[in-house]
Amino acid sequence: MARISRNEEKVLGEILNSSDPWRVAGHAKVDFPHFIRTLKSLVRKGLISITETDVLLTGSGMRLVGEADLLPAEEIPGRVEAARKQFAEVVRRRPRTTTLYDQGFMTLNSVFRRVSLMARMGDAGGKRVAVLGDDDLVSVALCLAAAPRHVTVLEIDERLVAFIGEVADELGLPLTALRWDLRDPLPARYKGRFDTFVTDPSETMPGLKMFLSRALYTLRAGEGAAGYFGLTTIEASYAKWSALQRWLLKTYPLAITHILPGYAYYDNWTGLTKQTKGYGLEPFKRTPRVTWFNSALVRLEALAGFAPKQTGRTRGSIFEDDESCGTTKEV
């Protein structure tokens, strides 16, 4: 397969959706001067042709996008819908949540909203994806709906590691799961190995930094790799958001491309009211009648000069701070 840059891949992905050059320019997420240079490069490589009105994939271009598993936008809803029923059967069998690891299940609709966005952004099809913590089984949904090259899950819960392995074998998915405590540095073999990461961090500052530094360690060097993570306003104030953003942008050459509020909702988990009754208000001693816990989805993209960095062992509590919704004493 011909070697192409991330910008070339973005442009080819949009040409799959439309032959109108203005529409491609509007959706490729490449600044216009670089977009023009990218078109000229693709012409030189024999991957596209340009007429007075259209930009078209050549035979070589069609073969390349097929080999790269780039997905036309119009195919994504159908692939997602076909995967939903199979995924629903899988999640019925997964292990129950445990507060030991701060687990809570994303709703099925929320899982596929995330997968659909990753596919539309070109961060799933043909990509190596790292999932750090996966009680939501995003790894399985990705494999069923979005044609990744391979997905690797790093998960502390032995039950989930075993379950994901069983599902991968049963369904023939390009998916492996490894038990790993993310408080420990990742093995060197995972450094820079992946195109995309997905994680839903614990929302203390130590937890956020731990999950995201481990996740960023997995991304390949250079520009174009991407990361996705959830962040709430329920357990993270905007002051914490600001501190996290400043740390990320000071430590790594990254762009924050998306912050999508309310993008994921979570099923009410066992033991929720044990966590909230300490606040002393009657409604929060009772099981919620609605699905209420939600998070924004944040997308990062690596810029030129990005390089994965190893960080040391994380010590101390990563699950609770003075913004956590659970408390054991009245406040």
Domain regions of the chain by residue span: 6-67, 73-302
Architecture in CATH for domain 6-67: Orthogonal Bundle (1.10)
User: What's the distance, CA 82 to chain centroid?
Assistant: 21
Tokens 């913004």, located at residue:
323
CA distance 312 to 331: 35
Tens digits of residue pLDDT in 17-62 = 999 999 999 999 999 999 999 999 999 999 999 999 999 999 999 9
Through-space distance between the first and last CA atoms of the chain, rounded to whole angstroms: 61
Please state the pTM of the whole predicted model. 0.94
DSSP-derived secondary structure letter, 201: -
CB 176 within 8 A of CB 165: yes
Tens digits of residue pLDDT in 157-207 = 999 999 999 999 999 999 999 999 999 999 999 999 999 999 999 999 999
* HSE (side-chain half, CA atoms, 13 Å) at 35: 18
Residues 6+ apart with CB under 8 A from 73: 16, 17, 120
CB 127 within 8 A of CB 159: no
Domain 73-302, what fold? Rossmann fold (3.40.50)
Tens digits of residue pLDDT in 253-302 = 999 999 999 999 999 887 777 888 878 899 988 889 999 999 999 999 99
Residues 6+ apart with CB under 8 A from 133: 101, 154, 155, 156, 182, 199, 200, 201, 211
